[in-house]
Structure 1
Amino acid sequence: MEILAYGVQADERPMLSEAFEGRHGLRMLDVFLTEDTAPLAEGVPVVSSSVNAVLDRAALTRLAEGGTRLVTQRSTGFNNIDLDAARELGLTVARVSYYSPYAVAEHAWALALAVNRRITRAASRAREFDFRLDGLLGRDVHGMTVGVIGTGKIGECFARIAHGFGTELLGWDIAQNQDCLDLGMTYVDRDELLARSDLVSLHVPLLPATEHLIDGPALARMKPDALLVNSSRGGLVDSAALVEALRAGRLSGVGLDVYEEETGVFFTDRSVRGITDDVLARLMSFPQVLVTSHQAYFTRTAVGQIIDATVRNVDDFAAGRSNENTLVAGSGDRP
């Protein structure tokens, strides 16, 4: 079968090529899958999208009209896909239901440690041979109260690392994780978690119920010197409210690997053109804010697992099978 993979990063290319070699025909593009780029898949039965694809009804319609029957996304999240439209169009949609949770949890901790110990500012100064310590005062993580919002696989891994540092663990989720309880985690309601935590890390999916989970009132409940980390989905945080909280002198550190309007910006080079998103630009102007480009998943282990799952999704589709990654089993004929 012929496959067109969108949004392929340079480091992914050799891994994708090796995985599909001898199995299916594969072409790779660095552009993202949107309504405008969907016609590039004309006559191609299978497309593979990246997390920053915009798979709304218009884009899916163009794919279906062009003969695409399977969309397999190389990510766990699928809030960017209109599943109802896919179902109506007879498309099969699959994702990657599992990859290394350690990759994301470790990156979340890298962000937390970096903003706590002012690593970015210190490194920038050192490059200019400025070795003063002014403004670089951090806090011991040992003894902190760490609030974990979302205690699934990734949240559990984050909590295990926190436990190793010697922290008090608070958790919030719709269901309690026994492994987290065994670490000594205490489950509390969201307001209590926000009020008591020195560090809050987000590990829940983006759903209508979780959109802007961290809004203005939530930020006001947090300690003025708290740390906030989001390595899950940008829409969990009301970015404009976060800017206002920072302007008011609240929060001593913010680490963001995701941003609610990141589509079309993250995974691209804007060093020459700059960005037109005033909220993002304002966020990045605060010295206690560190933004990375949705790279928490981007380890050799995790990307390899994502690619392996994508290959299996294609193999199973070609054989007329569904698997645990299938979100929509299309009604259209198999190629």
Structure 2
Amino acid sequence: MPYSEPARTAARRARSLTPSSPSVVPTTGITIYGCGRDEAALFREMAPRCGVLPTITEAAVSEANVDLARGNRCVSVDHKTQITNPTLLVLSRVGVAYISTRSIGYNHVDVAYAESVGISVENVAYSPDSVADYTVMLMLMLARNAQSIIRRADVHDYRLNDARGKELRDLTIGVIGTGRIGAAVMHRLRGFGCQVLGYDSRPQNSADYVPLDELLQLSDIVTLHTPLNAGTHHLLNRHRIAQLKHGAFVINTGRGPLLDTEALVSALESGRLGGAALDVLEGEEGIFYADCRNKSIESTALLQLQRLPNVLVTPHTAYYTDHALSDTVENSLINCLNFEGGKQHG
């Protein structure tokens, strides 16, 4: 999401306040929910330099803890937990008028309902390179059978067996969704010399755009980077998965419900698809970001996927880099400052 000039100005102002600079007297209070230790350290470092007094809690926002936001018009929330409409209503009653979500996606907040109770919702921009790098890494791992090779090496089986891989320059990559992250993926892929196809409801650059059906039929690897909404839920459904080339790979670093997981499992188990790499998954809530070593996993789809040797599953971590986390914290503060100053950006 491109920043307007006021936001860029605020960003430059925030960066100009180095750690050795005296803190600005806080004039704005912000409650930060669902804040991990690494984020909390950054908020505590950056907020005083921006003139912000942060109230920080590791707990996700809920009806039980909205009093932490009392007196603050702005709150910052994480992307890991669905924010219920009753919670939004109670937030509005304690004076909250603005939510900045520390994510690009809004699918965990009912934005229309929030607006109906007087709360504006905005996302943050962070380095698209974090997810783009990770996506290309997953492509390379799938193309070179890395999962199978590593599993065998872990038990000291060093034979080549069927480990012969593919080179990206020999493949056609289909990128669905060509916003900031999708465009960054396409930029990286050009360096590998592969053919890159794009699909987007609103083409945004000079990529080789084709209709979705054509992209699915031509691509050796399909990667998903479109926002999740009612129109893109199960964008790759059973019908569209059936259109993919035999042996094709699917990568999802966007949102889990973009992909019909049941249909994907069926195509993988039948051998029709060559593999998948999933950093996001339907039903990941309550599983990803938790220590489940001594718990039973109730997601049948996750267990099925992890048993397959040609599937990589990672816990929604593509965005998680030093640079992106710093961007997220800084831009959360800037969002709230701009709201308080009447300078919301679109």
TM tier relative to shorter chain: 0.7 to 0.9
Q: CA RMSD in A?
A: 2.0
Preserved CA contact (<8 Å) 1:211 1:236: yes
Indicate the residue corresponding to 1:211 in structure 2. 233
Indicate the residue corresponding to 1:329 in structure 2. none
Q: CA 1:89–1:305 in structure 2 vs 1: closer, same or farther (change >3 Å)?
A: same
Indicate the residue corresponding to 1:163 in structure 2. 190
Q: Which amino acid aligns with 1:76?
A: I
User: Secondary structure, in 3 states, of the residue corresponding to 2:37?
Assistant: coil
Preserved CA contact (<8 Å) 1:33 1:54: no
Could you list the per-position Cα deviations for residues 251-282 of structure 1 after superposition, in whole angstroms to 9, with x for gaps in the alignment?
11211111122222222222211321112221
Indicate the residue corresponding to 1:136 in structure 2. 163
Q: CA 1:163–1:42 in structure 2 vs 1: closer, same or farther (change >3 Å)?
A: closer
Indicate the residue corresponding to 2:257 in structure 1. 235
Preserved CA contact (<8 Å) 2:31 2:69: no
The CA deviation at 1:2 is: 3.5
Q: Return the alpha-carbon distance in structure 2 between the equivalents of residues 285 and 295 of structure 1.
A: 20
User: Secondary structure, in 3 states, of the residue corresponding to 1:304?
Assistant: helix
Preserved CA contact (<8 Å) 1:41 1:68: no
Q: Return the alpha-carbon distance in structure 2 between the equivalents of residues 211 and 267 of structure 1.
A: 23
The CA deviation at 1:10 is: 3.2
Preserved CA contact (<8 Å) 2:268 2:275: no
User: Secondary structure, in 3 states, of the residue corresponding to 2:169?
Assistant: coil
Preserved CA contact (<8 Å) 1:38 1:62: no
Indicate the residue corresponding to 1:69 in structure 2. 97
User: Secondary structure, in 3 states, of the residue corresponding to 1:211?
Assistant: coil
Q: CA 1:66–1:136 in structure 2 vs 1: closer, same or farther (change >3 Å)?
A: farther
The CA deviation at 1:249 is: 1.4
Q: Return the alpha-carbon distance in structure 2 between the equivalents of residues 292 and 242 of structure 1.
A: 16
Indicate the residue corresponding to 2:39 in structure 1. 12
Q: TM-score, normalised by structure 2?
A: 0.85
Preserved CA contact (<8 Å) 2:69 2:75: no
The CA deviation at 1:322 is: 3.5
Q: CA 1:29–1:285 in structure 2 vs 1: closer, same or farther (change >3 Å)?
A: farther
Runs of 4+ residues over 4 Å off in structure 1:
none
Preserved CA contact (<8 Å) 1:6 1:29: yes
Q: Which amino acid aligns with 2:48?
A: E
Could you list the per-position Cα deviations for residues 220-253 of structure 1 after superposition, in whole angstroms to 9, with x for gaps in the alignment?
1111211111111111101111111112112112
Q: Return the alpha-carbon distance in structure 1 between the equivalents of residues 337 and 69 of structure 2.
A: 21
In the TM superposition, what are the counterparts of 1:1-335 in structure 2 within 5 Å? 1-22=28-49, 23-35=51-63, 38-39=65-66, 41=68, 43=70, 45=72, 46-96=74-124, 98-180=125-207, 185=208, 187-319=209-341, 321-324=342-345
Preserved CA contact (<8 Å) 1:4 1:44: no
The CA deviation at 1:44 is: 5.2
How many correspondences in the alignment?
A: 317
Q: Which amino acid aligns with 1:266?
A: F
Q: Return the alpha-carbon distance in structure 1 between the equivalents of residues 294 and 114 of structure 2.
A: 37
Q: CA 1:296–1:66 in structure 2 vs 1: closer, same or farther (change >3 Å)?
A: same
Could you list the per-position Cα deviations for residues 43-87 of structure 1 after superposition, in whole angstroms to 9, with x for gaps in the alignment?
252321111231231221232234433321111111211122212
Q: CA 1:34–1:179 in structure 2 vs 1: closer, same or farther (change >3 Å)?
A: farther
Q: Return the alpha-carbon distance in structure 1 between the equivalents of residues 236 and 217 of structure 2.
A: 13
Q: Give the % identical residues.
A: 33
Unmatched segments (≥5 aa) in structure 1? 326-335
Preserved CA contact (<8 Å) 1:3 1:44: no
Preserved CA contact (<8 Å) 1:214 1:238: yes
Q: TM-score, normalised by structure 1?
A: 0.88
User: Secondary structure, in 3 states, of the residue corresponding to 1:99?
Assistant: coil
Q: Return the alpha-carbon distance in structure 2 between the equivalents of residues 224 and 31 of structure 1.
A: 45
The CA deviation at 1:34 is: 4.2
Could you list the per-position Cα deviations for residues 110-132 of structure 1 after superposition, in whole angstroms to 9, with x for gaps in the alignment?
11111222223323333333222
